A and B are shown apart, each in its own frame.
Chain A
Amino acid sequence: MASTATRTARARRGLSLASQFLILQLCIVLLAVAAVAATSVAGADAAFRNEEGQRLLSAAENLAATSVVRNSLAEPGNEGLRSAAGGQAETTRIVYGAGYVLVATIEATVHADTHGTEGQSVPTEDSPVASGQSWVGVRDDGAAHELVSHVPVLHADTGEILGFVVVAVKYPTPVQLFADAVPNLLVYLLLGGAIGVVGSLLLARRVTRQTLGLEPREIAGLVEHREAMLYGIKEGVVGIDAAGRVTIINDEAVRLLGLPDDGVGTALADLPLEESVLDVLAGRVQGEDHVVVQEDRVLVLNRMPVLVRGRDAGAVATLRDRTELTSLRRELDDSRTATDTLRAQAHEFSNRLHTIAGLVELGEFADVARYIHQASELREKLVHEVVASIGEPALAALLIAKSSLAVEQGARLHVTPDSALPPVGDTLAYDLVTVVGNLVDNAIDAIEPGGWVEVTVSTTGTRVDVIVRDSGPGIPASMVEAVFRQGVTTKDGATGRRGAHQGIGLALVRMTCQRRGGGVEAAGSTLHAWLDGVRPAPVPADGAPPPPTGTEAGR
């Protein structure tokens, strides 16, 4: 199906790459042969004039120096000498293969020659032979195109100029010159053509192999298509070459990484990225689905090394935005926490009911009354303790739920009496729930049964401080910085409750704090987080929903 489409497309576009190469090559070969032929003809023409000119001059000089010619011209009336001179001229004509040879008088009339033209005038044009100089020239009077040499005949004793001899050959036509110059032109042409054809076929094959059998248009189309695809997908994609430079990056990746521009061609190390992101992109950490925090985003990174024919050609990294997913998970966790809490409470409740039922069956009614009183008092004390200091309902609810969870695990969670937090509005409350929830979860996970967790939440001006201490071993000093980065946890992976989610909690806490102009630090088993932006919410007088706060608008 696909190949049929390709073939149709190719046919529509006309010539294949190989054919184009072939035609181009043939044109070049033809041009080269034509140029060679033209230069050859010019060269042959020059060579003909030079070589033939020398030969004609030699012939004429020799004839002019013979005594029979000299004597005949010195004694014009001597018919015997004249015919002897004609014979000498004929000898010269035959020996040199000249067209015609004649002996002329100083008045430029034919004195003796080989074909009976005695008495006719000899054209001398610009020949200086009359003044005693030899001459070679090309004559073209329409009827004849010839190369002519003139040599003066001097008297043997006095040196007087008696006349001159003329030796001429027919000038070859351009076709003859061409044939002389390149006798094997056809062979060269065919040879050149054959080499050209073979060369272009080989070249085309090679190019086709290198381009995976695609024609240039197809390659261009493919590139455009891939480009469009790359920019069309919702995930961020970053291509990195073997030298660690960004070769390709789509808009989504630019957005997720918060880059100022596409940064194509820039070395990874020069990009304004978190160390952890760089580690993944550069392949310094192994594995899949690295969860990292870049600015205020939680990203899932995957890096696939690209191998081209066994050679490292860099890597492609994909980025997915997990910020929302993490939020959802957070909420899921919260509801699960609530479920756990309810379950724990239900369990506790049923235990107490069993106790009461047992006491009633035993008829210990005084004990029943005391037990019920004690139980409700404990509960109330906890709720009171929390509600008294934490005015924000969401946080208070969380702490109460967490304490139930702690109790179920045989531990205790309590809020220090110096805690104080007024209602702060939904958004900050949400962030506080994230921060406190994560810190407390971590603390509860860290302690043994029988341990304790202590939470202090206090406000100073617009700042909220959260301090969570526990009886656990604390975070080793060497890992303090690492745990706030992503992907690192002090929890044992096998027993951790949240699987892939582990390790992200503290990073999330730091991200949330930083977004609110705060921070988080750890010292042993004490974690201290602070956030800014408390705007005490007006207490609703009649239970109506609170109006939007300035904090909301500023975000």
Chain B
Amino acid sequence: MQRGMAWTSRVLTVLLLATGGCAVSADVDPHGVRIMVPNPPGSGYDLTARNLARALEASSAVDGADVFNLPGAGGMVGMQRLVHEEGNPRLLMVMGLGLAGAQGQWSGDARLADCTPIARLLVEPNVVVVAQDSPFRTMADLVDAWRADPGGIVVGGGSQPGGPDHQAPLMVAQAIGIDVDEVVYEGYDGGGRLLPDIVRGQVHVAVTGYAQNATQFDSGQLRVLAVTGPARVAGLDAPTLQEVGVDVVFENWRGVLAPPGLSPAETDALGDLIVELRETPEWQETLAVNGWTDAYLPPEEFRDFLDQQVVSISGPDDG
């Protein structure tokens, strides 16, 4: 409400300036929110952002929600842009564990801690996948082959090194007694181009988000060997890692950040958007369809959570 009035008054100001005739140029402040995806289309972030925009528009809490992709450096270019957009109360960036991990390899000066946390939205289990014609029929096949020749198995993932798709296989390797330094990992930003390489056999096994590849599981191009989460994913015939004797539980999470320098009121307004979002049937349906679990954290708690994540991920690498 307050936000709406503020926008209206801004639009009016612009109108007055524009109709005044003396101004050479005038800012225009389009309504709605813009959601930045810090990696290419087709990624888990992209999927999250587009579902988020759809549900936000349905909630009528915003006058339009627009998604754009700004890939680069495992999401850090997007975060750099977010920091540049300081004070812009109508920009959100979808991010997750991968971004928190990418910060470790980042040479730029933008930091997660600069941004304004808005909410953690969801957690998503990763899946261990192979091509349909892969010799690995079960997780046990993979474990045996990997133990036998750790360097001969190429592991792919949608994250930069340090991201969730990288962390998960490292944890699996550790659990089955493989030296993590021997693991061969190929990172694909956002995971969009990972898929063809799995199918071609250039990547033997991949750990990736479930939702963004769900159609490939259904069409039979990819086979899921295991789910990394604590429970099976509804509608997917695959065991958890623990079920097949690999003692690893791993879940990716996603949330939204806003630029730095927002007033408390602006932060609250964005926070309220997410609160409204979670009440929409569209969002509930999105969660169910994508195998996502609602893991909402409000801004303050999300900030604390982010601090822990950055430490826990970048700590070992830095050290």
Interface of A toward B, CB cutoff 8 Å: 42, 45-46, 49-51, 53-54, 57-58, 61-62, 64-65, 70, 123, 125-127, 131-141, 147-148, 152, 154-161
Query: Which of A133, A136, A157 contacts B28, CB < 8 Å?
Result: A136
Residues of A within 8 A of B15 (CB): 42, 45-46
**Which A-chain residue is minimally distant from B8 (CB atoms)?**
A46
The answer to whether B30 touches A140 (Cβ under 8 A) is no
Contacts of B11 in A (CB 8 A): 46, 49-50
Q: Please determine whether B108 and A134 come into contact, CB atoms closer than 8 angstroms.
A: no
Which residues in A have their C-beta under 8 angstroms from that of B80?
A: 132, 154, 159
Q: How many A-B residue pairs have CB under 8 A?
A: 111
Residue of chain A at shortest CB distance from B189:
A156
Residues from chain A with a CB closer than 8 A to the CB of B68 are 57-58, 61-62, 65
Shortest distance between the CB of B8 and any CB in chain A (Å): 9
Set A65, A147, A157: member contacting B73, Cβ < 8 A: A157
Residue among B11, B70, B107 having the largest count of chain A Cβ atoms under 10 Å: B70
Q: Determine whether B171 belongs to the interface, using a CB cutoff of 8 Å to chain A.
A: no
A125-B24 contact given A156-B71, A159-B76, CB 8 Å threshold? yes
Q: How far is the CB of A174 from chain B (nearest CB, A)?
A: 10
Residue B72 CB within 8 A of the other chain? yes
CA distance A135 to B34 in the complex (A): 13
Chain B positions within 8 Å of A147 at CB level: 28
Query: Are A156 and B31 interface neighbours, CB within 8 A?
Result: no
List A contacts of B32 (CB < 8 A): 54
For the complex, what is the distance from the CA of A87 to the CA of B63, rounded to whole Å?
A: 33
A-B contact pairs, 29 of them (CB 8 A): A45-B18, A46-B11, A49-B11, A50-B31, A51-B30, A57-B30, A58-B66, A61-B34, A61-B70, A62-B68, A65-B70, A126-B25, A126-B27, A132-B84, A133-B85, A133-B88, A135-B27, A136-B29, A138-B14, A138-B25, A140-B24, A152-B81, A154-B72, A156-B71, A156-B73, A157-B73, A157-B77, A159-B108, A159-B110
Does A140 contact B72, Cβ atoms closer than 8 Å?
no
Given A46-B15, A155-B77, A161-B84, A140 and B23 contact (CB-CB distance below 8 Å): yes
Q: Which residues of B contact A133 (CB under 8 A)?
A: 84-86, 88
Q: Within 8 Å of chain A (Cβ to Cβ): is B298?
A: no
A126 CB contacts on chain B under 8 angstroms? 25, 27
Q: Does B26 contact A (CB under 8 A)?
A: yes
Cα A137 to Cα B28 in complex, Å, equals: 5
Chain A residue at minimal CB-CB distance from B30: A53
Query: CA of A134 to CA of B108 in the docked complex: distance in angstroms?
Result: 20
Nearest A residue (CB) for B21? A140
Which of these, A42, A135, A139, A154, contacts B81 with CB under 8 Å?
A: A154
Q: How far apart sit A131 and B26, CA to CA, in the bound complex (Å)? A: 18
Known contacts A54-B32, A54-B66, A65-B68; decide if A154 and B77 are in contact (CB<8 Å): yes
Q: In the complex, which of the residues A132, A157, A159 contacts B85, with contact meaning CB atoms closer than 8 Å?
A: A132
Q: With A42-B15, A65-B68 given, is the CB distance from A138 to B26 under 8 Å?
A: yes
- Tell me if A137 and B73 are in contact (CB < 8 A): no
**A65 contacts B71, CB within 8 Å?**
yes
Instruction: Identify A159's interface contact among B23, B66, B77, CB under 8 A.
Output: B77
| Residues 113-149 (chain B) with a chain A CB within 8 angstroms | none
Bound complex: CA of A132 vs CA of B81, how far in Å? Answer: 6
Distance in angstroms from B159 CB to nearest chain A CB is 16
Closest-by-CB residue of A relative to B87 is A133
- Nearest CB on A from B294, distance (A): 29
The reply to whether B27 and A50 contact each other, CB–CB distance below 8 Å, is no
Query: A-side binding surface: helix, strand, loop or mixed?
Result: mixed
Is B230 on the interface with A (CB-CB < 8 A)? Answer: no
Interface centre among B69, B79, B81 (most CB of A within 10 A): B81
Residues of B contacting A158 with CB < 8 Å?
73, 107-108
Residues A155 and B72 in contact, CB atoms below 8 Å apart: yes
Closest 8 CB pairs of A and B: A132-B84, A159-B80, A61-B68, A53-B30, A156-B72, A125-B25, A159-B108, A136-B28
Binary CB contact string for chain B from 1 to 42 against chain A (1 if under 8 A, 0 otherwise):
000000000010011001001011111111110100000000
Contacts of A64 in B (CB 8 A): 70
Is the beta-carbon distance between A136 and B27 smaller than 8 angstroms?
Answer: yes
**Which residues from B are CB-within-8-Å of A141?**
24
| Distance in Å: Cβ of A137 to nearest Cβ of chain B | 5
Distance of A159 Cα from B84 Cα, bound (Å): 10
Question: B76 CB to closest chain A CB, in angstroms?
Answer: 6
List B contacts of A138 (CB < 8 A): 14, 18, 25-26, 28
Shortest C-beta distance, B106 to chain A (Å), equals 8
Known contacts: A58-B66, A141-B24. The answer to whether A156 contacts B77 by CB under 8 A is yes
Q: Given A49-B30, A57-B34, A126-B27, 8 more contacts at CB 8 Å?
A: A49-B28, A53-B30, A61-B34, A70-B72, A126-B25, A138-B25, A156-B73, A159-B108
Bound Cα distance A525, B107 (Å): 138
Bound-complex Cα distance A45 to B28 (A): 11
With A45-B15, A50-B11, A159-B108 given, is the CB distance from A154 to B28 under 8 Å?
Answer: no
Q: Assess whether B64 is interfacial by the CB under 8 Å rule.
A: yes
Quick one: which of B64, B69, B85 contacts A54, CB cutoff 8 A?
B64
Residues of A within 8 A of B73 (CB): 156-159
Cβ contacts under 8 Å, A45 to chain B: 15, 18
CB-nearest residue of chain A relative to B81? A154
Whether A139 contacts B25 in the complex (CB less than 8 A), given A132-B84, A157-B72, comes out as yes
Pick the most buried of A125, A127, A132, A161: most chain B CB atoms within 10 A of its CB: A132
> What's the Cα separation between A354 and B64 when bound, in Å?
135
Q: Are B30 and A136 within 8 A (Cβ)?
A: yes
Closest Cβ–Cβ distance, residue A363 to chain B (whole Å): 140
How far, in Å, is B116 (CB) from chain A's closest CB?
A: 15
Partner of B66, one of A42, A57, A135: A57
Nearest-neighbour CB distance to chain B for A166, whole angstroms, equals: 13
Complex Cα–Cα for A65 and B68 (A): 9
Q: Nearest Cβ in chain B — how far from A457, in angstroms?
A: 101
- Of chain B, the residue at the smallest CB distance from A54 is B30
Shortest distance from the beta carbon of A366 to any chain B beta carbon, whole Å: 138
The interface bits of chain B over 45-73 (1 if a CB of A lies within 8 angstroms of the residue's CB, else 0) are 00000000000000000011010111111
List the B residue with the shortest CB-CB distance to A160: B108
- Measured between C-beta atoms, what is the minimum distance from A45 to chain B in Å? 7
